[in-house]
Structures are given as structure tokens and as C-alpha cells.
Amino acid sequence: MISGRRYIKSSSFVMALLFTILCGAAALSLGYFIDYFARGHFAQSTEAVLDSEIRYIKSLPDLSNIPENAHRIYIPLDRNNAIPDDINPETSTLREGILVFDYPQGGPRYAAKIYQFEDGQSLLIGYDITDIAHDFRFMQIIGIASIVFVMIVVFISYLISVFVVSGTNKIANTARDIMNTGDLSQRIDIGSRWDDLGNMTTVLNMLLSRIEQLMTGVRQVSDNIAHDLRTPLTRLRQKIEAARGEKQEDLLKEADHLLSTFNALLRISRIETEKQRSRFQKLDLQNVLQDVIDFYEPLAEEKSISMVLDLQGATLEGDRDLLFQAFANILDNALKYTPAGGTIRISLHNADGRISIEIKDSGAGVPDSDLAKIFERFYRSEESRNTAGTGLGLSLVAAVVELHHGTVKAENSASGFRIITIL
């Protein structure tokens, strides 16, 4: 038996791990690059300024006349180069020989060097690096923030991978349960609808519903075939046994009935399974209905049935032959069950982008309990068992309407029975 796939063995985990390694390496490289080059630029530029300042001091004839500068400090030291008590250099040096300290305490930050003159005098020469230090600190923060951001992205990618694996395991587990139990009524739990997995789960549930419907139809067809074809096959066998040449016409009728039944089954099956739209074209539905009416008008006149028409113009993309057959089946059914002298009303309305076709007869109608079943294959009410037919006409109607993304329903009314088709 196939078990649920563990997370560490999933492709999502492998991709998340690879993503973590690559992003981690990129983050560390970025942090090192920012720190290394920012620190190097900071130290180099500071030392260059201090060296320039020392050269300037050396060029002066008298140290007592050093001009004042708001960004420089010059502090004379004793023979031992002792640093004044109010200066506390940082233990971490910017570069060898450079002192970093705040002067006065809590004030601007300085970088300084001690220069000893030939006469033994020493001078602490400092340069205000407050702005540069601030920029350097800002670059360090950016480096740290970049690393933290990448780590957050890695963590989110881990959560996404767990979410994906969980969703795919739900789909796999449901499919496995269906295979093991044969229960097509099971559905995949839809945890969310905003993501691609949720959309795929919705589509798969629709697919399962369709498969369940088709499998149920197959089982019903098997039962109905055994019921509806047993009688004509029995009659055919009896007539063949008794035939001596004079019964050939009856035999042909029975054979034709069987052939028409199987042909109708095959036609419905092709419509439902192949879903071919290669013959779709723009057509005028009013003309299609009018052709159906013209075809059945002689039969209506023969039964003294009047047909009342209310047809509006309507166009759609569809298969003309299939639509003709579908409406012909509905009208044929109406003529079959409408008593002599009755009325059939046929209407075609086009409103709000939807086309409604209603064929209403003045017949006895169908028991309410049978309304939901009349579009099933081979279904025939007990009252119609003795009339000619295969029980497949309305099944073909349902298949054709579904092919055209429409709906069809049957209703009893106060004055008869009607079938409404929406395209």
C-alpha cells in the first residue's frame, strides 16, 4: 500500500533546502562584502586624512600658531606620550596606530594619531569622524538587515513548502482511499481557495463528481438495459422460433428497435465523452427551431394538435445537427403524449445574454417523483412502458445541452408539462 509522502522526501523540501543554502550563502556574502569594504573604505579614508594633517603640521614653522578647526583637535602630550584622562580610546582599533574615541565624553567621535617631533615633543592629532562613523554604522545595519530579510524569506519558503506538501498529500490520500474503497463520493478537503492548490482541488472535486455521475450512469444503464431489452429480445427469439417466412417484417421491426436503441446509446456516449466542438459555428437558433417545427407539423396536423409559436431571434455558437436532434426529441416527446386536439406552445426568448427555449404541451404530465429521472438513460415511467420508444431521447437532449454549457429541466404545470432549456 502506498503511504503518504514524508516531508523530508518531497521535492518541496529539497527545493526549500537548496533555496536555504543558496540564499544563506548569498546573505553571508553580502554581509561580508558590505562590512569588509565599508570598514576598509572607512579606515583608509580616515588614515589618509590624518596623514595629510600630519604633513600639514610638520610644514608649520611654529606649533603654537596652529590654526583652529572645528573638525580637528590638537592635544600636546608629555614626554611619555601619556593620553589625557578625559580621553578613553576604544579597545577595538580601526587600524594599527589609529585611536578612536569620543571627545569630550559623549561628544563627537574622533580618530587620531600621535606624532612625535624631532625635538621629542608629541602631538595627538584628531579628525572628526562622526559623520563617517554614522555612515559606516548604517552600512553595517543594512548588512545585518539583509541577512535577517533573507532568513525571513527562507523561513517563509519553508512554510510554503510545508503547505504545498500538506495539500498534495491530501489529494494523494483521497485518491488512494478512492482506489482502495471504490467510494467515488469522497472529496478532497479544500483548505483554501486563494492559491493554486485550492483551485486544483476544486477542479479535481468537480472531476470526481463527474466520474461518480458517469459511473452511476453506467451502472444504471446496465440495469436498465437488462430490464428494457429483455422483453424485445425474448419476443424476437419467440418469433424466430415460430417464423416460417411470413413473420419477417415483424422480425425486422424488432431488430430495428434494438439497433436504434444501441445507436442512440453510442450517440449519447460520443457526445458525453468526446466533447467535440469542431462542428460548432455561429447559427440562428430561431431557424433551427423553425426547421424542427416544419418537420413535425404534418404529424401535429394528423393528430389535430395546434402549435402556438413565440419565437425571437437568437444566435449562438453551436452544433446545428445536435441542436436540431435535441429539440426534435423534445417536440417528438410532446406530440407523443399530447392528446388529440391538444396544444403545444413553443417559445424562444433571448434576454440578458441567456437564451430560453420552452416547449409546453397539454398532456397529462409526469409524476413529480419522476421529474428528476426523466433525463436518465433508459428511464421510462410506468405509464409510458407500453408506448414506442427507447427511453434515450431526453438523455440525448441532456447530453447536447451540457455540451453547449446549458441547462435543461422539466416541470409540471397546471395545464400540462413543459421542458425548459437555457443556453
pLDDT in tens, 110-150: 888 888 887 778 888 888 888 877 877 887 787 778 778 87
* Residue 84 in this model has a pLDDT that exceeds 60: yes
Residue 250 has pLDDT above 80, yes or no: no
Q: Which residues pair with 127 in a beta bridge?
A: 72, 111
How confident is the model at residue 278, as a pLDDT?
Answer: 63
Least confident of 4-8, 49-53, 106-110, 385-389: 385-389
Q: What are the start-end ranges of the H helices in 60-182?
A: 130-181
Q: What is the pLDDT of residue 2?
A: 40
Distance CA 178, CA 180 (A): 5
- How is residue 338 written as a grid cell? 399530447
**Mean per-residue pLDDT, 39-44:** 76
Residue-wise pLDDT for 29-40, tens only, equals 777 777 777 677
In the sheet that holds 343-351, the strands lie side by side as 306-311, 343-351, 354-361, 416-422, 407-413
| pLDDT-wise least confident of 96-105, 185-194, 233-242, 343-352 | 233-242
Share of the chain above pLDDT 70, in %: 75
Give Cβ neighbours of residue 4 (< 8 Å, ≥ 6 apart). 169, 172, 173
The CA distance from 60 to 74, in Å, is: 14
Q: How far apart (Å, rounded) are the C-alpha atoms in residues 50 and 132?
A: 14
Tell me, what's the pLDDT at 226?
Answer: 54
CB 378 within 8 A of CB 231: no
For residues 95 and 58, give the distance between their C-alpha atoms in angstroms, rounded to a whole number.
22
More confident residue, 307 or 139: 307
The pLDDT of residue 334: 85
Q: How many helices (H) and strands (E) does the chain have?
A: 8, 11
pLDDT tens, position by position, 200-245: 888 888 888 888 777 777 666 655 665 566 666 666 666 666 665 5
User: In this predicted model, which residue has the larger pLDDT, 402 or 267?
Assistant: 402
**pLDDT of 163-200, one tens digit each?**
777 777 788 888 888 776 667 778 877 766 677 777 88
Task: For residues 392 and 377, give the distance between their C-alpha atoms in angstroms, rounded to a whole number.
Answer: 5
Q: Is 4 helix (H, G, I), strand (E, B) or coil?
A: coil
pLDDT tier at 3, thresholds 50, 70, 90: very low
**Average pLDDT rounded to a whole number, residues 330-342:** 85
Task: Compute the mean pLDDT over every residue in the chain, rounded to the nearest whole number.
Answer: 76
The Cα-based distances of 113 to 45, 49, 104, 208, 316 in angstroms read: 14, 11, 17, 81, 90
CA 51 to chain centre: 66
Residue 1 has pLDDT above 50, yes or no: no
pLDDT tier, 269 (very low <50, low <70, confident <90, very high otherwise): low
| Segment 261-288 mean pLDDT | 69
Close Cβ partners of 324 (under 8 Å, ≥ 6 residues apart): 288, 291, 292
In tens, the pLDDT along 366-419 reads: 777 777 777 776 665 555 444 555 567 787 788 888 877 888 888 887 777 878
Using alpha carbons only, what angle is made at residue 138 by residues 135 and 142, rounded to the nearest 5 degrees? 140
Identify the pLDDT of residue 220: 67
Looking at residue 385, its pLDDT comes to 42
Q: What is the mean pLDDT of residues 59-87?
A: 79
Residue 101: how many CB atoms within 10 A of its CB? 19
Pairing mode, if any, of strands 343-351 and 306-311? parallel
Q: What is the CATH number of domain 275-422?
A: 3.30.565.10
| Rounded Cα distance, 231 and 305, in Å | 32
